[in-house]
Amino acid sequence: MNQQLTSLDTVLAYHERTKHNFQRYAMGPDHIDWDTQPDSFRRYAGAERFELPLVADTLDSAYVDLYRPGAIAPQPMNLNTVAALLELSLGISAWKQYGGSRWALRCNPSSGNLHPTEGYVVLPNLSDIPAGVYHYMSHDHVLEQRGLFDEKGAEILDATLSSGRFLFGLTSIPWREAWKYGERAFRYCQHDIGHAVAAVRYAAATLGWTVQLLDNWADAEIVTVLGLDRDDDCNRAEREVAEVMLCVNSKSSLSPKSPCPSLIKSGEILSVMADVKWAGKANVLDHHHHYEWAVIDTVLEATKFPEKILSAMTAVKWADEADWIAPPLPPLPSISCTSRAADLIRQRRSAQMFDGVTPLSREAFYRLLDSTLPRHNAAPWDVFPYLPRIHLILFVHRVTDLSPGLYVLLRRAGIEENLRAALQHEHFVWLKPEACPEHLQFYQLVSGDAQTIAQQISCHQEIAADSAFSLGMLAEFEARLKNRPWGYRRLFWEAGIIGQVLYLEAEAVGVRGTGIGCYFDDAVHALLGLTGTCYQSMYHFTVGSPLIDKRLQTLPPYAHLDS
């Protein structure tokens, strides 16, 4: 059996065994000892620290302008603006306090607030910081200098990035998530990466910048450039795994007509990594590790983006995914949101309860759906270079002038026939609702109260029923994975990006969203009449009018730095 097939089998087996179902949840710890929760902040002791200014408050870009190509003048790239990007993507957005407990929230959400994602920037020489590889320590809002380029390295880095660009790498520490969620944790790490990619993209847009996902970088190359393979710096500390390398561009103009700038190649940068001077020792996050979830290491290995994928052996047609260009669509319908982008990004929260009463206007609902559709060269979807493979199954509860029921939104053309054939219920009517914007492929499948079923399949969570609507993200699973086991991670990233879009868009129309990672996979498929693994549900989400828990105190994000 060749390696491709073996990896694919591993992925399929992992997906199957980590399904929750009515009779049994995926394997996880028998009990959780909250006192032994892993440290949610990675630190590199001994690395030189560069304190970053807190500048998000000075950014005036309007949230609605993030989507309008050319509306925000690009800011110059310097330590201040890089700091703003970090503050608004992975930075702390508030502290919550209840009784004796206090916990940080961040601009990027995370399953269980466990935050397995770490961020790095690879910067060329800037006036206040030398060319190097830096870990972002969000608790202190500092950059820790992991790697320092020598003069020649800095020159090559400068030339490769050409002025105005830098790299932004994302990694995961799976143990943070596995500590609580066991085997299913790999999925949540990947959702979180999708959320973080979108968070970086939105933060860049507030500065008038663009972001590309460097899909020409193998995981092993990301490992080398970020220094993740440096055993001496880790000792017993939990290892980080490479996820994705992004390129932030402070100069490219955002216009539907401008061509995408070419992708930065890893080769030149890798050629100077041997001369980088490394510093810093990673902290141990959890001294106990009572459980081991070996299957996570196995699926991580099976889904690595391999080196030399572009070489001969890869007559495999994977380029169909990466060469996709979004079709022209009408601009997003306007909304009355007047918030500054920086405020809206930092006010994003997960709703813990919904009021179960307040309807969402039909206009706001359609705007939310519309914002999940990729638009060419427009934020945030321009960061995701692949053919959309995820479609939405919606449980509509409270939307004005739209009957409650089960609906579907197709996120790309050319899939309807296949999906209609796959959703095997004859009573699905496939009716386009009245007043639905022409370009939305949005259909009612069946009308009726969908609250009970929505709650049941989302692990009985009331947030799926008391909202205005909840949804499941249905992936073209087999088509995406065929010959490309690494496509598994990318499906979760796509789902996470959709989630982040919905989180921010919900805030913009005056309601609130919550990601739902806990759902009964095959119950969703059965509800839709799906058999086999052609389509699989990857993530759920819910949006509505939140009830705020007044017992929780909210504290400012970085007041602790003043003391």
Ligand X SMILES: Cc1cc2nc3c(=O)[nH]c(=O)nc-3n(C[C@H](O)[C@H](O)[C@H](O)COP(=O)(O)O)c2cc1C
Binding site for ligand X (CB under 6 A): 105, 109-113, 188, 191-192, 195, 349-350, 461, 463, 514-518
Q: Are 387 and 325 in contact (CB under 8 A)?
A: no
- As given in the structure block, the two tokens for residue 491 are 């499906």
Instruction: Provide the minimum distance between the beta carbon of 106 and ligand X in the complex, in angstroms, as a whole number.
Output: 6
Q: Considering the complex, state which of residue 462 and residue 478 has its C-beta at the smaller distance from ligand X.
A: 462
CA-to-CA distance for 189 and 14, rounded, in angstroms?
14
Instruction: Provide the minimum distance between the beta carbon of 244 and ligand X in the complex, in angstroms, as a whole number.
Output: 16
Q: Considering the complex, state which of residue 135 and residue 184 has its C-beta at the smaller distance from ligand X.
A: 184
CA-to-CA distance for 167 and 225, rounded, in angstroms?
10
Instruction: Provide the minimum distance between the beta carbon of 12 and ligand X in the complex, in angstroms, as a whole number.
Output: 21
Instruction: Provide the minimum distance between the beta carbon of 135 and ligand X in the complex, in angstroms, as a whole number.
Output: 21
Residue 92's alpha-carbon distances to 69, 82, 167, 201, 557, in angstroms, are 28, 15, 21, 17, 5
Instruction: Provide the minimum distance between the beta carbon of 91 and ligand X in the complex, in angstroms, as a whole number.
Output: 12
Instruction: Provide the minimum distance between the beta carbon of 499 and ligand X in the complex, in angstroms, as a whole number.
Output: 6
Listed residue (180, 195, 187) closest to 119, CA to CA: 195
Collect all residues with Cβ–Cβ distance below 8 Å to 154 and sequence separation of at least 6. Answer: 124, 125, 130, 131
- As given in the structure block, the two tokens for residue 302 are 């099976």
CA-to-CA distance for 391 and 393, rounded, in angstroms?
7
CA-to-CA distance for 264 and 269, rounded, in angstroms?
10
Q: Considering the complex, state which of residue 349 and residue 484 has its C-beta at the smaller distance from ligand X.
A: 349
Q: Are 469 and 354 in contact (CB under 8 A)?
A: no
Q: Considering the complex, state which of residue 147 and residue 194 has its C-beta at the smaller distance from ligand X.
A: 194
Instruction: Provide the minimum distance between the beta carbon of 192 and ligand X in the complex, in angstroms, as a whole number.
Output: 6
Instruction: Provide the minimum distance between the beta carbon of 514 and ligand X in the complex, in angstroms, as a whole number.
Output: 5
Q: Considering the complex, state which of residue 405 and residue 499 has its C-beta at the smaller distance from ligand X.
A: 499
Q: Considering the complex, state which of residue 27 and residue 126 has its C-beta at the smaller distance from ligand X.
A: 27
Listed residue (421, 427, 462) closest to 448, CA to CA: 427
DSSP tag of 183: G
Q: Considering the complex, state which of residue 423 and residue 463 has its C-beta at the smaller distance from ligand X.
A: 463
CA-to-CA distance for 64 and 181, rounded, in angstroms?
36
Instruction: Provide the minimum distance between the beta carbon of 503 and ligand X in the complex, in angstroms, as a whole number.
Output: 7
DSSP tag of 91: S
Other C-beta atoms lying within 10 Å of the C-beta of residue 329: 16
Work out the burial of residue 60: count CB atoms within 10 Å of its CB; fewer than 13 is exposed, 13-18 middle, 19 or more buried: exposed
Q: Considering the complex, state which of residue 105 and residue 465 has its C-beta at the smaller distance from ligand X.
A: 105
Using alpha carbons only, give the angle 342, 390, 510 rounded to the nearest 5 degrees: 35
Instruction: Provide the minimum distance between the beta carbon of 463 and ligand X in the complex, in angstroms, as a whole number.
Output: 6
Q: Considering the complex, state which of residue 47 and residue 511 has its C-beta at the smaller distance from ligand X.
A: 511
Q: Considering the complex, state which of residue 72 and residue 299 has its C-beta at the smaller distance from ligand X.
A: 299
Q: Considering the complex, state which of residue 148 and residue 463 has its C-beta at the smaller distance from ligand X.
A: 463
Q: What are phi and psi of 448, to 5 degrees?
A: 140, 170
Q: Considering the complex, state which of residue 81 and residue 461 has its C-beta at the smaller distance from ligand X.
A: 461
Other C-beta atoms lying within 10 Å of the C-beta of residue 479: 17
- Residue 474 belongs to what H/E stretch? strand 469-476
Listed residue (201, 251, 253) closest to 76, CA to CA: 251
CA-to-CA distance for 516 and 472, rounded, in angstroms?
9
Q: Are 69 and 378 in contact (CB under 8 A)?
A: yes
CA-to-CA distance for 540 and 465, rounded, in angstroms?
12
Instruction: Provide the minimum distance between the beta carbon of 541 and ligand X in the complex, in angstroms, as a whole number.
Output: 9
- As given in the structure block, the two tokens for residue 359 are 């309807």
CA-to-CA distance for 154 and 125, rounded, in angstroms?
7
CA-to-CA distance for 363 and 1, rounded, in angstroms?
53
Q: Considering the complex, state which of residue 82 and residue 198 has its C-beta at the smaller distance from ligand X.
A: 198
Using alpha carbons only, give the angle 38, 288, 49 rounded to the nearest 5 degrees: 45
CA-to-CA distance for 113 and 136, rounded, in angstroms?
18
List 166's β-bridge partners, or say none.
248
Q: Considering the complex, state which of residue 193 and residue 246 has its C-beta at the smaller distance from ligand X.
A: 193
Sign of CA dihedral 23, 29, 33, 39: negative
